[in-house]
Each structure stands twice: as structure tokens, then as C-alpha cells.
A and B are shown apart, each in its own frame.
Chain A
């Protein structure tokens, strides 16, 4: 199985442009997450979804939006990118019904906003 896939692998984006980072999982996990990882900092949660049809804000949600129309897909949209959104973005999923909530990560998207 593919697990979690993310697209694109990397992207250079002009400030002010919009972009959607894609995330798809085939493990039928109910929960999904978006993190950003910056040098010297821990992973920071942007948005999450505990189940299809619901989303919640994480630690750093400003400038980002998400949707969860179905179990498999959890896209992250930057409506108007700014240079401070330059980062590596990881999507993750977990089967929270299992009680252990281990999160499994996609390969990441490296985004540069100029």
C-alpha cells in the first residue's frame, strides 16, 4: 500500500499567489493532520481533522485552510502566500479508534515563497 502521499514534492511560489498542497491516504485512518517543520523548531500543527466532514485549528492556523470531504483526502490551501510560509509541510494520519493514535507521515512538501 502507498500509505500517505503528498504532492507536489517541492514548489517555489510567488508571494501573493494561492496554492493547494495535496494529501491522500489509503489506510482508512479517520484522523488527519497538517504540520509545518522549520529549522530548529518542533513540528507545529496547522490544522487537523478527526473524521471526514470535520476540521479543527491547530497551533498555527493563520493563512491556511483545509477541507475533509472524504476519508482519504485532506488538502491544505494557502490563499495568499507570504515568505514566512516557506517551510516543509508534512501531512499525517492516524487511526484514533485504535487507542494508540500513532501518526504516520507523508514524505513532505518543501515550499519556498519568494
Chain B
């Protein structure tokens, strides 16, 4: 079957660094997406990885290891506005996104 595993909740301090891990099992693989979702709002696109390695985009970076079925999202210089849920979503062989329940990130001053 298809499965996504990511922590339910994480807490970090403003200005610090946090890594949100995601492991996945899918029928086929066509890349992995990370989305950010603030409470009561729609998910917004953060990053896409299709090859192994690290993709850096400002304060956010995303890593992928296809052989391990593993990805992480790294957030640096945390700001209060980064308090949100972070959704890991690999794309299967049918080009459908398989969504995890998301990791709720709480930033404390």
C-alpha cells in the first residue's frame, strides 16, 4: 500500500533551525512535494524534489533520498510566521499526490 509517515507535531524556537522528516512508500515515484498550510488556509507550494539531493530556496531546503524513501524539509532562521503545518506529498506512478497528515510546527519566542 501507499503510506506517508511524518511527525504529528514539533516545537522550535524563533531564530533556530528545524528539520521535518518524511518517509514514504508509494506505487512508483514521480517526485516529492512539500507544502505549507497555515491554520484555516489552503496549502501553498514550498518545494519539489525529483532527484536525490538537496534543493535550497532561501530559508527553506528540501532533501530527497529515493532509495531510502526519505525526505526532509529544513527551515532556518525560524520566524513566528513559520508556525504552520507542513505537508509531505510524494507523487505516485499515476501522477497522483499521496498526502501525509502533516506536521504541525509550533514556533516559540
Contacts and interface: CB of A to CB of B under 8 A. Distances in A.
Nearest to A39: B101
Nearest to A3: B42
Given A42-B4, A42-B87, A43-B87, A104 B99 contact: no
Nearest to A59: B96
Contacts of A58: 96
- What bracket does the count of chain A residues touching chain B fall in? 20 to 34
A17 B43 CA distance: 29
B60 interface: no
10 contacts: A43-B87, A45-B96, A100-B31, A100-B48, A101-B30, A101-B91, A102-B48, A105-B42, A107-B41, A107-B42
Interface in B70-109: 87, 89, 91, 95-102
Interface in A98-114: 100-108
A7 B45 CA distance: 22
A43 B43 contact: yes
Contact of A102 (B30, B41, B45): B45
B13 interface: no
Interface string A75-114: 0000000000000001000001000111111111000000
Interface in B21-45: 30-31, 33, 41-45
B31 to A, nearest CB: 7
Nearest to A50: B95
A44 interface: yes
B99 A96 contact: no
A58 B97 CA distance: 11
B42 A102 contact: no
